[in-house]
Amino acid sequence: MSFESLGLAPALLRALAEQGYAEPTPIQAGAIPVVLEGHDLLAAAQTGTGKTAAFALPLLQRMASTEAGGKRRPRALILTPTRELAAQIHDNLRDYGKHLRISSAAIYGGVSMGPQVQTLRRGVDIVIATPGRLVDHMQQRTIDLSGVEVLVLDEADRMLDMGFLPSLKRVISALPKQRQTLLFSATFAPEIKALAMQFMHAPQEVSVTPANSVATTVSHHVHPVDAARKRDLLLHVLSQDSRRQTLVFSRTKHGADKLVRQLEQAGLRAAAIHGNKSQNARTRALGDFKNGRITVLVATDIAARGIDIDQLPIVINYDLPMVAEDYVHRIGRTGRAGAEGIALSLVSHEESGLLRDIRKLLKQDIAINEVPGFELSTPLRLDAQAPRPKQGQRQARPPRQGGSHRPHGHAQQNNGGEHAMGNRKRRSRGRRPAAKA
């Protein structure tokens, strides 16, 4: 299978060759012809499968092959849950479309509206937006969506999880009925199907990864360790190969910051990325990580969602996630596009139940190996009584100083979506702690 055989235009083929993409990934092979034929598409694919190019390439081709006609209103709208994803999709569109004359703009919260308004006023072909900020532009009448021919809902499940359904409905109702709609989601939960039924026209389905599966090139390892010794074990592991870029997951923002301070004290170059960090700080941390200025990036689940880092060799779970599905999302950052990856989790006795959930979800064994010198005082237990951290339990977190820590207005704008988790209805994920991360 080649990109040529999918019917892509020479200008796109050239850009793909320059990117070093040799052949389409399965989602690209499945989705691109369907989109080029003009059908609506329901695609089950998670980050790491090459899903962005699966919609970006045929979208660029369509934009390039048809006339804009009249004033330059956006002709395509891509909705995505987080700023980071919006920025990355924008980067990818620029890379893939470098030999075409298609303009695009990323519209997300956390930065001032002014420059976005000016860009929109000048006219762009493709808008990549987070739902909250887009609704703000609609309210201020700084965006005209009446010319949208193609709508892409990226990570639709995550947008619903983050409470964006009302914004989505509002945006979609402002779009022309006659349009092509592409919906990408890691899972096809009933809510996603309902969204598709309501807003799509006879969609074709493409599914490349069974829901909740991870790349087969990832090997999973667990080091059991007492909670009090996790930090030392992490330093030990990192010291084995300090040149490697390592993404470390922490369950809480406070825990992420604390860990970064400890890593820095130990002489490592580290930064944290989470919802309390400003957009600038997050972009800088991600940039520093990508160019190697820092070697350890400590992230919370929501902040890390969708961060696009090529071929990360190892992901470490400093804490296990409270919800097993988040393990799959975390691990999606390694073992991409055929590369080998390692997922290493440091698991204390108190997290035994979470490990049990993950093993059940993965339907595969995870190698559990004690590290000499870090033996557990209370062994893990993986039976039905396996303990799990209490709801909302934070590790070594000081008591909160009065008041609510929920933001007002669009949570996504103020806090990169992280707090929206605290607000959302917990439909099927009863165990997720309130106000996590």
Instruction: Give the binding site for ligand AMP (CB under 6 A).
Output: 21, 24-25, 28, 47-53, 308, 310, 336-337
Rounded CA-CA distance 82/11 in Å is: 29
The neighbour count for residue 36, using CB atoms within 10 Å, is 18
- Residue 318: closest CA among 212, 237, 402: 237
Rounded CA-CA distance 53/50 in Å is: 6
The neighbour count for residue 14, using CB atoms within 10 Å, is 12
- Nearer to ligand AMP by Cβ, of 25 and 82: the residue is 25
Helix or strand (DSSP H, E) at 233: helix 230-240
Q: Report yes or no: 297 and 330 within 8 Å, Cβ to Cβ.
A: no
Q: Report yes or no: 271 and 297 within 8 Å, Cβ to Cβ.
A: yes
Phi/psi region, residue 360 (left: phi>0; alpha: psi -120 to 50; beta: rest), is alpha
Place of tokens 């825990």: 255
Name the token pair of 49.
Answer: 């499968």
The neighbour count for residue 242, using CB atoms within 10 Å, is 12
- Nearer to ligand AMP by Cβ, of 277 and 305: the residue is 305
